[in-house]
Amino acid sequence: MKRDTKCSDLGEANIGQEVCVAGWVNVRRDLGGLIFVELRDSSGKLQLVADPNINKEAHQIFSNLRSEFVIIAKGKLTKRPEGTQKADQSSGTVELYPSEVILLNTAAPLAFQLDQAASVDEGLRLKYRFLDLRRPEMQHNLRTRHNVTNAIRMYLDKAGFIEVETPILTKATPEGARDFLVPSRLNPGAWYALPQSPQLFKQTLMMSGIERYYQIARCFRDEDLRADRQPEFTQVDMEMSFIDESDIFAVTEGLLKDAFAAAGFEVQIPFQRMTYEEAMSKYGADKPDLRFGMEIKDLSSAAKTCGFKVFKDVVESGGVLKAICLEGQAGKKSRKDFDAYQDFAKEFGAKGLAFLEFNEGGVRSSGIDKHLSPEDIEKMKELAGAKQGDFILMIASPDKVAANVMGRLRLKIAEELGIIDENKHVLLWVVDFPLFDYDEEEKRMVAVHHPFTSPRLDDLDKLKTDPLAARARAYDVVYNGVEIGGGSIRIHDRGVQERVFESIGLDLANAQEKFGFLLKALESGAPPHGGLALGLDRIIMLLTGSKSIRDVIAFPKTQSGGCPMTEAPSAVPAEQLKELHLTVKEKEKVRS
């Protein structure tokens, strides 16, 4: 017997046909006489019925079936009797009385019930991932992932890109995330690193004349995990020669339109564009969620002349007073709500938070109104864009902290108030990122994007004079407040590359050692080029409405970087370590 049809392919059109289906017993309903078995395969479900008066043998087999047993059955497809049809399933109007059934395999009682997985501890789901992935939700996620990836491949192929694989065993890089290291058996004491991204290889490919490269590339970063971050993840990595930003935007927009369409979402192109500066000042984030308003307002000019010393001092010492306006929320926020906002703000470095509320009876505040004149309050109200009945939250602090805190409060409160339109799909480009940021810990300049990003030509002279003001030819794609990709036009001039290395404290000798091949390639006829990488896992997470990236990865890691199913990472035999010229400090050993 061999399966010839999938469950959900069967409908009323197939009534009377001899079909053979196979799959797992989703559920068995034994009525004593009749036994119903819901058969599930990768496509869906089909109801099988055994009647002892029709087929005693089939009935006998059915009576011994349990959840997740594997069977194959054939027979003539019949229409369900009137009144027993299920309109909400594709094969809900038909059923199969098998003429023949074979039990292909049994299953031990399950670690968890598949239909309850949504509330089951995730560690257990991961330990028994083979069960978890049988669930229709997970099957749907993996299928969506395939469909989207497939659409991306077709799109890029049509656009003249070729997929090139790059090494997984490569060289550690000084900048960026922590590397995963792999010891070299043949070279004692030397290490490979797993790639954080194929960045240097794809640039090298441009210098090799590939012109349009892409790769669905696995990337590795040994950093702490989050709901949307795994130590190994997948990027749609692209690079093009002889192009500028507009080409990359056009290709990416077309790609994302197709990718979203593959998951059933329609998006408008071209995407909106916004400078980094505007994003930070209006939304307090480099990945603004534009599905709602509640923009951040600058009240510094009012603070400068106001009677409240705290505000005044902060602004006079170079800080800012920022506010968000909660429309119509006057009188609706309790002291407790405000305290929660304040605690939240403090987590992100705020010294304090203030509110002003414009009620019909007058102004209520977090105790600041006694320091403010009616004119001060009126000015703040106006600058905040508030009207009668509104509630504003304010923070006075250095610009960076104020933007970050307000940006996060904006999101938190919007979620609370339910003003985010879940049906909106807003994609935008954030452009003109700064080239450098100052790293307080390392006491040096670091690249915001990566050190191969081209400065804007008009900012080249700022590299030395005012590096923090230099802007990069870098861009991010943002979808509903989530960064789903980013890239840049790269440096293709050796001289410029050396100057940027110098700015981040990488002297020529060091640069030679780490990136000698790149410098050599740059002076060997490097075309202008640039590219972009999209976070595939994150995109699929958003398109499937998943809460975690783990729900769109077949075999993800837990927050401590482990795989509960295989129990990786684990100790290895001493012999294996010896071959690799390694020893592990006794007290740091894991139990093996």
Partner RNA sequence: GGGAUCGUAGCUCAGUUGGUUAGAGCGCCUGCCUGUCACGUAGGAGGUCGCGGGUUCGAGUCCCGUCGGUCCCGCCA
The number of helices, as runs of H, and strands, as runs of E, in the chain is 17, 23
Q: What is the C-alpha to C-alpha distance for residues 380 and 308, in angstroms, rounded to an integer? A: 12
Q: How many C-beta atoms surround the C-beta of residue 41 within 10 A?
A: 19
Using CA atoms, how far residue 293 sits from 78, 290, 359, 380, 589, in Å, is 56, 7, 22, 19, 53
**Token pair recorded at residue 567:** 């129990």
User: Smallest distance, Å, CB 150 to RNA?
Assistant: 26
Q: What is the C-alpha to C-alpha distance for residues 266 and 264, in angstroms, rounded to an integer? A: 7
| Among 16, 81, 362, 525, interactor with RNA by CB under 7 A | 81
Using CA atoms, how far residue 589 sits from 311, 575, 585, in Å, is 54, 15, 7
Q: Is 34 in the site for RNA (CB under 7 A)?
A: yes
Q: Is 580 in the site for RNA (CB under 7 A)?
A: no
Q: Is 53 in the site for RNA (CB under 7 A)?
A: yes
- 482's enclosing H/E stretch is strand 482-489
Biggest CA-to-CA distance, the chain: 93
Q: Is 137 in the site for RNA (CB under 7 A)?
A: no
Peptide bond into 136 cis (omega under 30): no
* Per-residue interface string for the shown chain with RNA, residues 532-551, x marking contact by CB under 7 A: ----------------x-x-
Name the residue with tokens 């981040």: 504
- In this chain, which stretch among 10-18, 31-39, 159-167, 510-518 interacts with RNA, using CB under 7 A? 31-39
Q: What is the C-alpha to C-alpha distance for residues 126 and 555, in angstroms, rounded to an integer? A: 7
Q: What is the C-alpha to C-alpha distance for residues 435 and 467, in angstroms, rounded to an integer? A: 8
Q: Is 291 in the site for RNA (CB under 7 A)?
A: no
| Among 11, 123, 167, 188, interactor with RNA by CB under 7 A | 123
| Among 5, 196, 215, 397, interactor with RNA by CB under 7 A | 196
Residue 161 backbone dihedrals phi, psi, to 5 degrees: -85, 150
If the CB atoms of residues 319 and 564 are measured against RNA, the closer one turns out to be 564
**Token pair recorded at residue 183:** 């010891």
If the CB atoms of residues 72 and 96 are measured against RNA, the closer one turns out to be 96
Q: What is the C-alpha to C-alpha distance for residues 574 and 496, in angstroms, rounded to an integer? A: 49
| Among 173, 204, 480, 544, interactor with RNA by CB under 7 A | 173
Contact present, 541 and 488 (Cβ < 8 Å)? no
Q: Is 87 in the site for RNA (CB under 7 A)?
A: no
Name the residue with tokens 């001092």: 313
User: Smallest distance, Å, CB 508 to RNA?
Assistant: 19
User: Smallest distance, Å, CB 359 to RNA?
Assistant: 33
Q: Is 111 in the site for RNA (CB under 7 A)?
A: yes
| Among 3, 9, 36, 147, interactor with RNA by CB under 7 A | 36
Q: Is 211 in the site for RNA (CB under 7 A)?
A: no
Q: Is 592 in the site for RNA (CB under 7 A)?
A: no
Contact present, 544 and 554 (Cβ < 8 Å)? no
If the CB atoms of residues 176 and 270 are measured against RNA, the closer one turns out to be 176
Q: Is 451 in the site for RNA (CB under 7 A)?
A: yes
| Among 8, 14, 42, 67, interactor with RNA by CB under 7 A | 67
Contact present, 368 and 308 (Cβ < 8 Å)? yes
> Hey, what amino acid is at 340?
A
| Among 158, 226, 332, 520, interactor with RNA by CB under 7 A | 226
If the CB atoms of residues 322 and 550 are measured against RNA, the closer one turns out to be 550
If the CB atoms of residues 134 and 297 are measured against RNA, the closer one turns out to be 134
Q: Is 32 in the site for RNA (CB under 7 A)?
A: yes
If the CB atoms of residues 38 and 390 are measured against RNA, the closer one turns out to be 38
Specify which residues 478 forms β-bridges with.
428, 483
Contacting residues toward RNA, per CB under 7 A = 27, 29-34, 36, 38, 47, 49, 51-53, 66-67, 80-81, 83-86, 95, 109-113, 116, 119-124, 173, 175-178, 196-197, 199, 221, 223-229, 347-348, 441, 446-451, 548, 550, 558-560, 562, 564
